[in-house]
Chains A and B, each alone.
Chain A
Amino acid sequence: MLSREFDFFAPSELGEALSVLRDSGDDAKVLAGGMSLMPMMNLGLVRPRVVLSLNHIDGLDYVREDGNSISFGALVRHYQVASHPTIRRFCPMLAEAAAHIGDVQVRHRGTAAGSIAHADPAADYLPVLIAYGATFTLRSSTGDRQITAEDFFVDFMTTALSPDELLVEISVPKESNVARSAYRKLARLEGSFAIVNAGAVIDRSTVRVAVGGVGGRPILIEQPWEIGGSEGSVVAQIGQLVYEATKGVVGEDADYKRSVARTFSERALRAALTKAS
């Protein structure tokens, strides 16, 4: 049994959920997968007065093609992101990252939207969404707004979400048919939060590599790329840029972190380059 009493709401309509959120303000915590919230509540680190579950709202677990993007809803669980044929086909790096989250049980329950809203800087989705240039739809009882992933992640576990808003949709541009991508992660145990992680996308004329675990939010390196250009030199270049971009990393492991950030950004990029497009 958890320690502090709380009111529990599990509405069946999104509008109702948004009203609860609006009326509760900072007293409420949103519960979807619970894979971040429940451990903290179990340890007494988080003691909300209101817990608002989204788990009984129908119609939030869709995955659909929207022209040039893939959009999916707030209740899509990690195992679905990892295995859904539409996501695997058009945004394979996202499916690749989701397969590395936690373990089987965690992936059955945890949601992509929840992980994104929690914004742990070492979360598997973050560099992938930034490298892809994803956008999010935030909804409150007064309306919707769109925001890019880059703008959404502000700092360590801090996002652009207002207390009365929910992240209701994630929209990821489809890879073109010449694009290649890969996700690489360094972690102590299989499925644990990354020490560093990197998502690399090579498309027609650009290379984008985002690296997480090196600050409050992932860093993004973008370089022009010529098809047929020297792969060895673009990998080394990106690695060097990542190394320079991480000079603000502090702590007794700073040298180590900067070194592995470079190594894993290079590995992600090399892995993407070796994929057939």
Chain B
Amino acid sequence: MYEEIVYDSAGQLRTSTLMDYTIPTAVEVPHYEIGHQETLSPFTPLGAKGVGESGVGGALNALCSAIEDAVPDLDIRFTRLPLTPQRVWGTIHAATRRG
């Protein structure tokens, strides 16, 4: 929802400091609780497997789906991240005009 690396048409990086590259603060990140669902790998001695990056995709999709679900009368589909306020507003308003 917040982070995007932006280049202008001359190839200049516009988001090169934390002033422009917006990382969420403790106020934006919601309260969360962690649960564990373990399925051991049959291929490794301890059943361990890499967990670092694979969980992220699900969260991103859940976010998009949540917004799409929040406006069930509109046929919208988010295909681009981040979900900035401008992008969400623009997508919803374009959909409204399609009726």
Binding site for B on A (CB under 8 A): 39, 43, 103, 186, 188-192, 195, 253, 255-256, 259-260
Contacts and interface: CB of A to CB of B under 8 A. Distances in A.
B7 interface: no
Contact of B89 (A39, A191, A256): A256
Contacts of A255: 90, 93
A190 B28 contact: yes
Nearest to B17: A43
B86 A189 contact: no
A39 B28 contact: no
A43 B16 CA distance: 11
B27 A190 contact: yes
Given A253-B86, A256-B90, A259-B89, 18 more contacts: A39-B19, A103-B25, A186-B85, A188-B22, A188-B84, A188-B85, A189-B22, A189-B24, A190-B25, A190-B27, A190-B28, A192-B22, A255-B90, A255-B93, A256-B85, A256-B86, A256-B89, A260-B89
A215 to B, nearest CB: 17
Interface in B1-54: 2, 17, 19, 22, 24-25, 27-28
Contacts of B25: 103, 189-191
Nearest to B93: A255
B2 A189 contact: yes
A39 B25 CA distance: 19
A193 to B, nearest CB: 9
25 contacts: A39-B19, A43-B17, A103-B25, A186-B85, A188-B22, A188-B84, A188-B85, A189-B22, A189-B24, A189-B25, A189-B27, A189-B28, A190-B27, A191-B25, A192-B22, A253-B86, A255-B90, A255-B93, A256-B85, A256-B86, A256-B89, A256-B90, A259-B89, A260-B85, A260-B89
